[in-house]
Chain A
């Protein structure tokens, strides 16, 4: 593929609002996970809740879009000058030539969950002010961002569970390469809700402790929430050395099981190989892998095998979900931003919360931070329904 410039990027999660706080937390190996006190949820689990979402306002003209998911999107949009950068780019190439492609798994479903507590006792009807299109529907978040940024190009949500916001990079890449648009706002937004908290609990996939990816004692995920965005443009001929490029995207499907990974990580392996082929790189060219690393026994076992089969046991890797929690549909974009930060700062983040690496996992998992110049980073995202997506980011110089 033709490399794209990751011109601007930002992320907000439980470890911080914007890039500086996120980087500080990674350097300190600080986890944002805490015992769950979300809404009225009574579950023995830990969550990664972004600070300040409840108090965030959406602009008055977009009031009908007001819900936790879009508040989180609004909060993240205001960081790192992202909104202004998109506006400047719109002035340059035109509003019709910028696409909006956002990954989410549950969008604003929390609004519907709350509305179901307030059904009319006589008729069973939903409250009159419940707005399905602007909150519940998966498109709500992409629609909100398109209106908020006053863009007029193509827009959609990609909803492939926890691979959603990695896959939007692929969709944007194809649209730009096809010449339909000149730039794209891509990202992921997923917020805490009862469906995922009680749903993952029903599958016995939530840990009661903060999640410990690749640890011998790992016993499940911690659900988090995040919004992360990037502005993608074609890469110009000359770039600063610290410019971040999207070099490869690889996608595959497990064709194995709805909610369990392929035991040997076959789909994950094919996604990584496809990304390497798209970037025209050998496995040895990857300096660090940001793992999907959810912290369930089977996910980490499957991914470790896939990584070892592609890279051997030498390439340093870690999961940042011990810090952020599993932000589900936002994980791909959040970890793409973390990968960009890793490149810019020469930082391989050690996995927070993990203390004793499972000896059965052969991947080279980092417990402590490692500092060295990184040229290329690979990031994995896998989801229910067998969806797999791998991104490769690199420095221009």
Chain B
């Protein structure tokens, strides 16, 4: 059984990857990949008071979501959303656990409100006025495919147009040693049930057990393997190459996700 939709906008941000056009050039080998610390933009969508309260995870998610919707020329408020992330705000989580280990056990209300896994979804909805359904999923290293399947079932079954946003950021020590995500990475896809003027490709996903694809460039492969959200890179590579093809994305033990890509030309 396959579920499909149209990719009508893409946003990317990661180490050495500043946006989708830049990432597409790297993935299609038109430019060499040069890893560098992820540069997070100020979340201009948010009012200054909210801006100060947001951590790296929210900044990452909002940046790629905004790029994807701009590219799709779709008003963000009209879209449902699926957020996929292995962890929430790692720095915030560390500060809460540190405070709870002290005698006083004082944690700030803002820290607690920001500790929910759906913080980025909340800030995105507030910033854009998006009142449609917003779902936040996690499947540890399989979080990208969990989000992709959730998103495509909404597109295929309910005819929703939506944003899929996959993102992860690093934990500080000591959690970092147990969950060594190296840096912030995010990718967003605008998925629509029908082809639009700016649609890039139709994708169809199904479950399978073939071995998952890796990336030819060692630096990009390292990023894919170390960051759950970056498990999407083989799909982005296929989209960047503008050719018909298929890719197998890493999902759960013994089960991967096959995605067929048909460019819109």
Contact = CB atoms under 8 A, between A and B. Distances in A.
Nearest to B99: A198
Contacts of A158: 135-138
A251 B164 CA distance: 16
A235 interface: no
Name, among A133, A255, A270, the residue most crowded by chain B CB atoms within 10 Å (CB to CB). Answer: A255
B97 A116 contact: yes
B132 A252 contact: yes
Given A178-B3, A255-B125, A255-B131, A387 B177 contact: no
Contact of B255 (A152, A174, A178, A256): A152
Interface stretch (A55-63, A124-132, A212-220, A294-302): A124-132
Nearest to A385: B122
Interface string A373-395: 00000000001111100000000
Contacts of B86: 137-139
Interface residues of B, number: 66
Interface stretch (B35-43, B61-69, B101-109): B101-109
A199 B107 contact: yes
A96 B209 CA distance: 11
Contact of A105 (B109, B117, B135, B175): B117
A387 B107 contact: no
B116 interface: yes
A142 B112 contact: no
A137 B87 contact: yes
B147 to A, nearest CB: 8
Interface in A340-379: none
Interface string A136-166: 0111101100100000111111111100000
A253 B133 contact: yes
Interface in B102-134: 105-109, 111-119, 121-123, 125-126, 128-134
B119 A179 contact: no
B98 A116 contact: yes
A240 interface: no
Contacts of B149: 154, 175, 180
Contact of B207 (A132, A157, A180): A180
A178 B157 contact: yes
A366 B158 CA distance: 36
Interface string A233-265: 000000000000000000111111111000000
B156 interface: yes
A117 B174 CA distance: 12
Nearest to A99: B149
A171 interface: yes
A122 interface: no
Given A138-B138, A203-B109, A253-B134, A383 B175 contact: no
Name, among B87, B143, B178, the residue most crowded by chain A CB atoms within 10 Å (CB to CB). Answer: B178
Contact of B134 (A133, A160, A198, A256): A160
A385 B116 contact: yes
A142 B198 CA distance: 37
Contact of B135 (A167, A270, A386): A167
A198 B87 CA distance: 21
Contact of A385 (B77, B100, B118, B156): B118
Contact of A160 (B101, B118, B131): B118
Nearest to B81: A253
A129 to B, nearest CB: 11
Contact of B126 (A155, A170, A203, A255): A255
Contacts of B132: 252-253
A38 interface: no
B131 A252 contact: yes
A366 B254 CA distance: 50
A35 interface: no
A157 B116 CA distance: 13
B248 interface: no
Interface of A: 96, 105, 109, 112-113, 116-117, 119, 124-126, 130-133, 137-140, 142-143, 146, 152-161, 167, 170-171, 174-175, 177-180, 194-195, 198-200, 202-204, 251-259, 266-267, 270, 383-387
12 contacts: A105-B117, A132-B179, A138-B87, A157-B137, A158-B138, A174-B153, A178-B153, A178-B157, A194-B105, A195-B112, A202-B106, A253-B121
Q: 8 shortest A-B CB distances, which residue pairs?
A: A385-B122, A199-B112, A159-B117, A251-B133, A174-B153, A156-B146, A138-B138, A116-B101
Given A202-B109, A253-B122, A253-B133, 5 more contacts: A139-B142, A174-B154, A175-B149, A179-B1, A258-B123
